[in-house]
Structure 1
Amino acid sequence: MLRTAARRLLDRLPELTDDLVTKIREGDESYRAIVPADELWANAYEAMRVGIGAILQAPAERRDLAFAQQTARRRAEQGLPIESLQRTYRLGAQVTWNGFIDITAKDDPDDLPALLRTATHVWHAIDRQAVAAADAYRQRESELLGRSAERINALLDALLEGASEPALVSRAAAALDMPERGRYAVVTMRLPTRQDGDGETPRPDAIGRMRVLWRLRTDCEVAVVCLDEASLDELCAAMGPLLSGHAGVGPVVGGLAELGTARRLAALAMRTCAGDGPEIARLDRRLPSVLVVCQPELSGHLTEGVLGPVLALDPPDREVLLGTLETWLRCEGSAARAAGRLYCHRNTVFNRIRRIEQLTGRSLARPRDVVELTLALDAVRLLAVG
């Protein structure tokens, strides 16, 4: 009886398709905006033909599930919400079942009670189609999202490596949803040594009024920050709670095409960090130290020529003098402040400074000598020279 009704229903497919398409488009703005009307009609016609025809076929010959999966993949590629897709199956079930009722009531009214007992069979078949479609949709959506993420990462990597071709920058701006021109800064962060059980720390896509793109590289983590009107001071303050180690901040650049330069300079600034604790180094406040790390060979010659006699001392004596010099420079030549930090008398500081001057032949009263001593000390601390 159900197969007989199905054969008769196939003759009314154009009418049923018109009814289904009208219901879909009237109640769903997404379909109206995304799926062309002629495509929707042809797809609905074929879906109902295959779906109703499945009743006439052996289970091994049914093509309705494969067609549902094919349609779902297409809708995922078009960007149709999955809720809209699932709604079409509910509407399709209503139209199809009403068609069975109408056909049977008109041609074989005495069969209506028996037909009602087949309702679960019809609805179960359509439910299987809906489930198959949902699974295929989610799988295709996952594939598309993966490809999209790979494309975005590839474009961001190209920019960070210095690519600046106008066409690539334009594609990157569209994919990253970032303006081509604007105030940008790059922050590099040294990757921490992870312990077993450590998880990834979630990274925010916005810090205050600044938008952030994160990229994990082999040697560090990189943050591309669209500053808008924010300053580097605001950026450093906002990054502070996210740090677990050393970080470097490059200069403000004027667009995506300059991210390669900003990333390289941020990495150089990060190399001026010393010690084990969290520290953020701004390029514009570490330029002398950056010059030292950029030229290790010349820095070695400078250190040997300036601090050679100090480095030749026994390690304990050497570290006392180098520590005193470093503290003196940080305290801007104040013996009292330096003594407070070194936990000694100010006369002790003066005695150590005089000894440094005697050994090096430099005077901390002469600006040029102060520059040489500062750069040589940076080389010792940052490059392990000596």
Structure 2
Amino acid sequence: MTGSAWPELLDRVRSDIPALLADFLEELARLDGYAAGVVPHDDIERTAVGAFEIFLARLGDTDDAERSAQFSGELGRKRARQGMRIDQFMEGVRINFRVLWRALHRAAAPDLVDELVSNGERILGVVERYATEVQAAFLEESQLMAQQRRTARERALAKLFARDIDSASLAAAAELLGLRADATFELVALPGADDPRVIVTAQAWRGALLHVEGDVALLFREREGRSAAEPDGFLAQPGAHIAEVRGVDSLANAAALASALTRATGGAEPTSLREGFAQLLRPDFATLIAGFEHEVVGDWHAAPADERDRFTETVRAFVRSGSIQATADDLFVHRNTVFKRLRAFTRLTGLDLTVPRDAAIAMLALPLGPSGSAPAVSE
């Protein structure tokens, strides 16, 4: 219990609130966040007076607990919504304390200094309680706002990749995400959306946005003036890369294409549309020629499996470069070996890989894609 001198000291401080407010506003005006005018002046004055009244009520055991807790919570939440940083906000709260402490010292001199000293622990408890309340409310509101922003962004991303969205909704989603509707984007589809490497990759690719559809992670960003053919390391792990997506209204189709390409190639290595188009088209091609494969690839299926594997390796390397020497270098064999294998392949299948039409047939009908994709035609 405190004697009559303690309420008298608090009454002296209470009568000094106009001076407290002036001191507080002067010091607060130099603080980042408040100095920028983020918080209206009348808001600052009103909450400062309210805080001083709560301090004095709690120090004098005349506090309305429900009302003061509501004030602390509303203040913390409001400052979070006004966009202040936690360090700026809590420094403002500390200014409150410093001003109050100076006011207590002024009011205690010269006759009530002992009373002030004897209530030091009480003052510290009130200060800590108030600071804890406003900080907790600020952090809780900040987390809620962050979750709301994440939810809004996730919804906007989902709209970008919806196939049946109207143009107005698409434009609104792009605006929320800070995307230019007419920008040119690049997009990758990465297999294994739950793979931790996907998040690491998303963070490493500057400016990329991440959206997950099923088991495929979609990453996309503006090309920033780079030409579509310019390599930039955007795709550095297994997946499919669409290099030039013109406008946000093309993102959904690009995502569907990249996802299909990832599935077709098995997602075993970085693949562009040009590199993987044969694997992408092979299932349809196989369906069309089912029962007539011999018309297209001759006696391919009659050859022993090890011979077909050798041909596949050689043909894959040759159609990639079109060069006998480059093929020999890739396979670490003599160029004459490449010649012999290609001639034997022609005798077996009737396909001459130096003829563009035959090379295209070989790419569609045989397992020539990256990492030895399974053949599309039946044996």
TM-score range, shorter chain: 0.7 to 0.9
Q: Specify the alignment match of 2:119 in structure 1.
A: 118
Q: For residue 110 of structure 1, give the secondary structure of its aligned residue in structure 2.
A: coil
Matched residue, 2:216: 220
Correspondence for 1:247 among 222, 228, 239 = 239
Q: Paired residue for 2:271, among 281, 286, 293?
A: 281
Pairing 1:375–2:364 present: yes
* Structure 1 residue runs without a partner (length 5+): none
CA distance, structure 2, for counterparts of residue 87 and residue 365 of structure 1: 75
User: RMSD across aligned C-alpha pairs, in angstroms?
Assistant: 3.7
Unmatched tracts of structure 2, length 5 or more = none
Shift of residue 98, structure 1, vs aligned partner: 3.3
**What amino acid is aligned across from residue 3 of structure 1 in structure 2?**
P
1:354 and 1:258 map into 2 onto residues whose CA distance is 41
- 1-structure distance, mates of 2:265, 2:213: 19
What is the number of residues matched between the two proteins? 368
User: Hey, what does 1:27 align to over in structure 2?
Assistant: 30
Q: Deviations for 1:219-260, whole angstroms, at most 9, x for unmatched residues?
A: 22222021112234444x4135x41xx311114123222211
CA distance in 2, matches of 1:89, 1:325: 73
TM-score, length of structure 2 as denominator length:
0.79
Residues 53-106 of structure 1: CA deviation (Å, up to 9, x unaligned): 11232789475455323311111111112222212222222332333344444x
Contact 1:20 1:91 in 2 (8 A): yes
Give how far 1:149 is off: 1.8
Change (3 A) 1:303 1:215: farther
Q: SS where residue 161 of structure 1 aligns?
A: coil
- Which residue of 265, 271, 284 corresponds with 2:257? 265
What is the rounded CA distance, in whole Å, between the counterparts of 2:30 and 2:8 in structure 1? 32
In the alignment, does 2:40 pair up with 1:36?
Answer: yes
Cα 1:203/1:66, change in 2 over 3 Å: farther
Q: Supply the AA of the counterpart residue of 1:220.
A: V
Question: Larger deviation: 331-340 or 46-55?
Answer: 331-340
| Alignment equivalent of 2:233, drawn from 225, 232, 238 | 238
Deviations 1:281-333 (A, max 9, x none): 22145444433356663365674642374225553454445455445544638
Distance 2:293 2:11 in 1: 95
How far off is 1:217 after superposition?
A: 4.1
**In structure 1, C-alpha distance between the alignment counterparts of 2:179 and 2:326, rounded to whole Å:** 51
**Structure whose residues are more often helix by fraction:** 1
% of aligned pairs identical? 19
